[in-house]
Amino acid sequence: MNEYDSNRIYDLVKKINYKKTNISEDADCYILNTCHIREKATDKVYHDIGRIKKSFKNKKKPIVLITGCVAQAEGEIILNKEKYIDAVIGPQSYHQLNETILKIEKSSNKLNETNFEVIDKFNKLNQLKNSNDKISSFLTIQEGCDKFCKFCVVPYTRGPEHSRSIDELLLECNNLVDNGAREITLLGQNVNDFKYKEKKLSDLIKEISKIKNLKRIRYTTSHPNDFTDDLIEAHGSVEKLMPMIHLPVQSGSNKTLKNMNRKHSVEDYLKIIERLKKINPLIEFSSDFIIGYPGETNEDFNDTLKLLEDVKFINSYSFIFSPRVGTPAAKMKLVESTIAKERLLTFQKKAAEIKLSYRKTLINNYSTVLFENKIKTNKNYFGKDKFSNPVLIDTNEDLKGKIRKVKITDVNHNTLFGEINEKEKKTEFAA
């Protein structure tokens, strides 16, 4: 979502004649768009400011703005602590960015823009064309969260749930496809709780699947409690909807899930997977896991390992529990750090084995790949298969935006390597 926000921030500042620069010492303004989901984010802000200060030691100070969730959660503290920062702007207030920059250009007052009015933000952003021209683009359709998992800052930093209107989303989607997008990932902190009037995520997916040049649709991040029948059905009926679902489970222990206030059990989770696999046996899953959550015993951890092995997630993102100030879990007793680290290593080793053995099954088989861009340093072309696996092939052809059948010849933990048969070089595939 920060990538989407950063692109939109750029669309905004262009209106007051700011341009991107790759030479950081030339910048008149720095915007650090931050994430607050785990610790160290604030440290990183101070670290980056230190770097900027050093490069501008003998020059005119640039304008320095902190946007995103660190600004929302710790805005006043960082403004007081680091005098080099001119303003903090929360994730729901960045539509006011130009006014803020213009004010700073005129005076040296510190500004704190962390009001919550997500509707105002989208009203303003809708007036600006989205200039992102990537083959694979993000589109925020829903923001915020009302679920209050005990470990998570999102309900406090992004605010309550808000879904954008279908009409504005269709306009922006068409805009992105006109810019060149062939794949769109619909974004939301609770994307499958998208509701606009009577319309749900499945309705939106069906609407945008009618856009002719849009080839692939994905969505992230889903919550198990919002996996409704209509969305499951869409996976059987919408060909453009990719058979890859990111569905965070956090833990394989019902006791831990309860302590987290997740409001779903491991059994509920497995039932969703079973129903999705029934409608489309090709669907694969990825997930997020929190390791060393307060109260997690060895037995709880082993339950998580068991779930990992049972589902065979093709990608697993795991993090040691990070206490976030203001969340209920921050007050709970921590699992000893050495134990948590050891568990994380065990988990990640198992997850990597599962991932690699899945990838090895792809060797000598064919994948349909949507190509995105040429790698600058060599002849490789980069694309993604239906399961979001990155694929590289060696070619001189311009494959940007094309979907080709690729024979996978080798794999590693990061990438699949492949080749296109002579006969299939010109054949277009639907999705």
Distance CA 359, CA 181 (A): 27
Find the shortest distance in angstroms from Cβ 347 to ligand SAM.
12
Stretch in the footprint of ligand SF4 (CB under 6 A) among 42-50, 152-160, 177-185, 203-211: 152-160
Distance CA 285, CA 201 (A): 19
Structure tokens at 394: 């060696």
Is residue 103 within a helix (H) or strand (E), and if so which, with residue range? helix 97-106
Q: Residue 148 binds which one of ligand SAM, ligand SF4, none, with CB within 5 to 8 A depending on kind?
A: ligand SF4
Task: Give the closest residue to 385 by CA, choosing from 255, 190, 246, 244.
Answer: 244
CB nearer to ligand SAM: pick between 64 and 260: 260
Stretch in the footprint of ligand SAM (CB under 6 A) among 40-48, 133-141, 319-327, 398-406: 319-327
Q: How far is CA 251 from the centre of its chain?
A: 20
Q: Is 319 in the site for ligand SF4 (CB under 6 A)?
A: no
Q: Where are the alpha helices (DSSP H) in 322-418?
A: 337-360
CB nearer to ligand SAM: pick between 257 and 406: 257
Find the shortest distance in angstroms from Cβ 25 to ligand SF4.
38
Find the shortest distance in angstroms from Cβ 147 to ligand SF4.
4
CB nearer to ligand SAM: pick between 303 and 372: 303
Q: Where are the alpha helices (DSSP H) in 107-153?
A: 118-125
State which of residues 67, 92, 100, 190 lies at the interface with ligand SAM (CB under 6 A).
Answer: 190
CB nearer to ligand SAM: pick between 256 and 367: 256
- Positions 4 through 33 that interact with ligand SF4 (CB under 6 A): none
Q: Is 185 in the site for ligand SAM (CB under 6 A)?
A: no
Q: Is 148 in the site for ligand SF4 (CB under 6 A)?
A: yes
CB nearer to ligand SF4: pick between 124 and 263: 263
- Give the Å distances, CA to CA, from 328 to 39, 144, 150, 153, 260: 16, 18, 5, 10, 9
Q: Is 301 in the site for ligand SAM (CB under 6 A)?
A: no
Q: Residue 155 binds which one of ligand SF4, ligand SAM, none, with CB within 5 to 8 A depending on kind?
A: ligand SF4
Q: Where are the alpha helices (DSSP H) in 32-188?
A: 41-55, 69-81, 97-106, 118-125, 154-157, 166-179
What is the number of alpha carbons within 13 Å of residue 422 lying toward its C-beta? 0
Angle between helices 166-179 and 201-208 (to 10 degrees): 40
Q: Is 250 in the site for ligand SAM (CB under 6 A)?
A: yes
Please name every residue paired with 366 in a beta bridge, in sequence order, or none if there are none: 407
Task: Give the closest residue to 242 by CA, choosing from 134, 171, 314, 317.
Answer: 314
Q: Where are the alpha helices (DSSP H) in 144-241?
A: 154-157, 166-179, 201-208, 229-237
CB-based contact 283:245 (threshold 8 Å): yes
CB nearer to ligand SF4: pick between 84 and 148: 148
Q: Is 147 in the site for ligand SF4 (CB under 6 A)?
A: yes
Q: Is 223 in the site for ligand SF4 (CB under 6 A)?
A: yes
CB-based contact 190:201 (threshold 8 Å): no
Query: Residue with structure tokens 């606009």?
Result: 196
Q: Is 252 in the site for ligand SF4 (CB under 6 A)?
A: no
Per this entry, what is the length of the chain?
A: 431
Q: Is 257 in the site for ligand SF4 (CB under 6 A)?
A: no
Structure tokens at 225: 């409690």
Q: Is 156 in the site for ligand SF4 (CB under 6 A)?
A: no
State which of residues 79, 154, 354, 408 lies at the interface with ligand SAM (CB under 6 A).
Answer: 154
Query: Residue with structure tokens 């990438």?
Result: 415
**Pairing verdict, β 195-196 and 199-200:** antiparallel
State which of residues 149, 191, 211, 290 lies at the interface with ligand SF4 (CB under 6 A).
Answer: 149
- Positions 386 through 425 that interact with ligand SAM (CB under 6 A): none
State which of residues 98, 126, 254, 322 lies at the interface with ligand SAM (CB under 6 A).
Answer: 322
Q: Is 223 in the site for ligand SAM (CB under 6 A)?
A: yes
Find the shortest distance in angstroms from Cβ 135 to ligand SAM.
25
Find the shortest distance in angstroms from Cβ 202 to ligand SF4.
20
The three-class DSSP label of residue 63 is: strand
Radius of gyration, CA atoms only, the chain: 23
Binding site for ligand SAM (CB under 6 A): 37-38, 151-152, 154, 189-190, 221, 223, 248, 250, 288, 290, 319, 321-322, 324
Binding site for ligand SF4 (CB under 6 A): 145, 147-149, 152, 154-155, 189-190, 223
